[in-house]
Amino acid sequence: MLRTPTGGAGHGTAAAGERAMSIGTVLLQLRDEFPEVTISKIRFLETEGLIEPQRTPSGYRKFSPADVDRLAQVLRMQRDHYLPLKVIREHLEALARGEQVALPPGGGQGDPGDALRDQDPGQATATRIGRAELLAATEATEEQFDEWESYGLIVPAAGGSYDAEAVTVARLVADLGRFGLEPRHLRAVKAAAEREAGLVDQVVAPLRRHRNPQTRAHAESTARELADLSVRLHAALMQTALKATFH
């Protein structure tokens, strides 16, 4: 059963003595539990009416601790139960009326992406999710999902199930879509990722083909480290390019 957090004040209001926070501060508070949360995600949840932070006279958002608690509730329901926002809103309204809410089966299993990453690589294929769960997790329509697959952004495994990477990609494609970026615009991003993966493969290929099992195992950890460095370099170059655009 899910219960209303203690503390009383409804979302969108700040009780006396509560410290109002900027959206950036809220993001930092949530990042430990929800590393993939973004400012655009928080703004989207506000647009959908799931949170109602106060506004300063100049229009800046100010979040109370109750707002942050509510945000965390919403993100947990999405992550742990794959609930669509409409259902989450109904649950929150029930909680506000003092009712107890029974969440659907599957609570406590965590995000499928996290579950897969925590497993031994040889057993990672054991945990997958179906198309319906992935649609619910991303708030996407069948038509949108078909388009993502047609452009190769989402690729099902054998049997039509989806792994951790598909979950992450689907959520990011959905978030980018809210800014007007369509799958056809993201083909260049996919192509760049494939080129970077090819570079990583060139480096680790000799290790992967080595006779020594320990050396072959080292190839996988080396590939992960190179991928992390590549992503960080890409982010830094993106920031440099954006600075040049605005100056």
Using the predicted structure, report yes or no on whether residue 189 has a pLDDT greater than 70.
Answer: yes
Residues in the chain: 247
Residue with tokens 């932070």: 53
Using the predicted structure, report yes or no on whether residue 69 has a pLDDT greater than 90.
Answer: yes
- Residue-wise pLDDT for 8-53, tens only, equals 444 444 444 468 898 888 988 898 898 878 887 888 888 888 999 9
- Residue 13: the pLDDT is 42
Residue with tokens 């980018």: 176
User: What is the rounded average pLDDT of the residues 61-85?
Assistant: 88
Task: Calculate the dihedral angle through the C-alpha atoms of 180, 176, 155, 117, rounding to the nearest 10 degrees.
Answer: -170
CATH, residue 158: 1.10.1660.10
Selection from 85, 86, 64 nearest residue 8 by Cα:
64
- Residue 97: the pLDDT is 87
Do 12 and 73 fall into the same domain? yes
Q: Which of 181, 209, 226 corresponds to the end of one domain?
A: 181
Strand, helix or coil at 101? strand
Tell me whether residue 233 is in a domain. yes
Q: Which of 81, 111, 141 corresponds to the end of one domain?
A: 111
Tell me whether residue 244 is in a domain. yes
Tell me whether residue 82 is in a domain. yes
Distance CA 117, CA 165 (A): 10
Distance CA 164, CA 153 (A): 14
Do 219 and 133 fall into the same domain? no
Contact (Cβ atoms closer than 8 angstroms) between residue 154 and residue 148: yes
- Residue 113: the pLDDT is 45
Contact (Cβ atoms closer than 8 angstroms) between residue 138 and residue 171: yes
Number of other residues whose CB lies within 10 A of the CB of residue 247: 5
Do 191 and 240 fall into the same domain? yes
Q: Which of 136, 165, 181 corresponds to the end of one domain?
A: 181
- Residue-wise pLDDT for 94-122, tens only, equals 888 888 877 765 544 444 444 333 333 33
> What is the pTM (predicted TM-score) of this model?
0.49
Structure tokens at 68: 């942050």
Tell me whether residue 117 is in a domain. no
- Residue 96: the pLDDT is 85
- Residue-wise pLDDT for 232-243, tens only, equals 898 889 889 988
The number of folded domains in the chain is 3
- Residue 9: the pLDDT is 40
User: What is the rounded average pLDDT of the residues 135-161?
Assistant: 86
Strand, helix or coil at 173? helix
- Residue-wise pLDDT for 196-226, tens only, equals 999 999 998 988 888 887 777 778 888 888 8
Q: Which residues does 212 contact at the CB level (< 8 Å), separation at least 6?
A: none
Does the CA dihedral 184-186-190-196 come out positive or negative? positive
Do 246 and 143 fall into the same domain? no
**What is the span of the domain harbouring residue 168?**
126-181
